[in-house]
Structure formats: structure tokens, C-alpha cells
Amino acid sequence: MRFYALLVYLFLYIPIGIIVLFSFNAGRHASELQGFSIKWFGIALSNPFVMEALKTSLIVAGTTALLSSIMGTMAALGLQNVRGIVRMIFDSLIYIAIMIPGIVFGIATLVALATALDFINPMLKNIWPIILGEAPRLKLGLISIISAHTLWTTALATVIIRARVQGMDRSLIEASIDLYATPWRTFYQVTLPQIFPGILAAALLNFTLSFDDFIIAFFVAGGRTTLPIYVFASIRRGITPEINAIATMMLIVSLTLLFTSQGLLRKRK
């Protein structure tokens, strides 16, 4: 069984290792190793299209991580006192949201946003004051990507933070209430410090998922280009060491955030 497990891991990680190896290729061809060099990392970082796509991905991932963590915290704290059939319904909806394939989520989000924009834009045009000029027309772009990613990652944030909520010491909360602390003061000084590692872990994990996502962003991006979308568009013209370098840097960032997230989840008082 150990031998078969080794084969499985080799099958999974050898292609990733090859990409990392050829990102240090000194030659111009991605499939021919002609010495080692880090020049392609510099070329990638000096490419204005790459940097613009990176900027978009960082804005989307950072905003998504913040919003999903806030809503996930609110949902986790709100569900802790829910019991019975209502709790089962909410739990089912949360896990279904996590298990939905990305392509289904992307199509559903695109249809929902397109329908909403078709309703909002004519209404906005009718109520827009004439003295302010022509009414703005809402369209798919940065906001739509953030909205879709926030909806996608909030369910996962809720699950992670709720596990931390269930493991916290509730006697401290009861003591705070007995000492006549307000609900907000109890949350800020007692509850939040206990669940903060879970919140931070959820934020890092959701940042990683949003930063690496291609499928959902591809459907709702409109005219904006995230880094995964740029990579996909580039490899249609052929794989180059520059693309390998971009993939390697994305891999390093993702693994760093994932390991940090796992460390926070394992952290004990």
C-alpha cells in the first residue's frame, strides 16, 4: 500500500515539479532545459500586462477574504444557538454551497448578475437626475468578480469559523455577561480573541482560493483580467518559461498561505 501511495503522490506532484524546474530554464523553449537562470521571473515581473492582472487578482482576493470572513463570522455566531430542523436546513445549504462545482457556480452567478443588471440599469437611467448628465451603466467587471468570489467562499469561512466557535470557552462569555458587559464589549474583548485564529485562517484560505480561481472569474470578469485568466489566455499561444515562472510564483504564494492557514487552525490556547 505504501508503494501504491507513493505512485499516487508522484503522479500528482511530478507535473508540478516539472513546471517549477522549467521556470528556471535559461533557454527560450519551455520543453528544452538549457541551463538554469532566474531571468524569466524578472521578465514576468516587468511585463505590464502581468502586473495589471496581478493587481486585479490581489484586489479581488483581498476584498473577498475580508468580506467572506466578516459574513462567515456573523453566520457562525448566529448559528451557534440554532437547533433542530432549522439548523439542519442551514447546515445543508452551507455544505451544498461548498460542494457545487465551480463551473455550475460560475454559470449561475453570471445568469444572476446579468438578470440583475438588466433590471437595475433601466431603473437607474429613469431615476438619474438630468443635471448630473448621463446615467452610469453598470456592467460586469471588478465588482462582479468580488461578489461571485465572496458568495463562493463565505460558506467555507462559516464552516471554519464555526468549528472555532464550538471549541471556545463559553464560561468566559457567561462571566462577562454576569459582570454586566454589553454584548458588543463581550464580543470584542472575550469572543473575538478566542475565535480570531479561525477568522484569520479562513481569510487566508479564501484569499488563496480567490487568487487562484479561474473558472468562476472567467464567467463574470467582463473586461477585467485576473492573473489566472491571463495565464490561460497566454498558454493558448504556447507555453513559455515566463508562464512557468508565473505559475511557480503563484504556487509559492498559495502554499505559503495554505500552510499558514493550517498552522492557525492547529493553534491552541
For residue 202 the three cell numbers come to: 479562513
Residue 269 has pLDDT above 50, yes or no: no
Confidence of residue 67 (pLDDT cuts 50, 70, 90): very high
The reported pTM is 0.82
Three-state DSSP state, 221: coil
How many other CB atoms are found less than 10 A from the CB of residue 227?
Answer: 26
Calpha distance 168→170 (Å, rounded) = 6
Region 215-230: what's the mean pLDDT? Answer: 88
pLDDT digits (tens, 9 = 90+) for 19-46: 888 788 777 776 677 777 788 888 888 8
Distances (CA, A) of 191 to 13, 20, 55, 66, 205: 40, 43, 34, 19, 22
Three-state DSSP state, 224: coil
Question: According to CATH, what is the number of the domain 49-266?
Answer: 1.10.3720.10
Calpha distance 103→97 (Å, rounded) = 13
Dihedral, 40, 46, 52, 56 alpha carbons, nearest 10: 60
Residue 115 has pLDDT above 50, yes or no: yes
Calpha distance 108→203 (Å, rounded) = 24
Calpha distance 234→232 (Å, rounded) = 5
Residue 83 sits at the vertex; the CA angle it makes with 82 and 85, to the nearest 5 degrees, is 115
CA torsion through residues 60, 66, 69, 73, sign = negative
Residue 132 has pLDDT above 70, yes or no: no
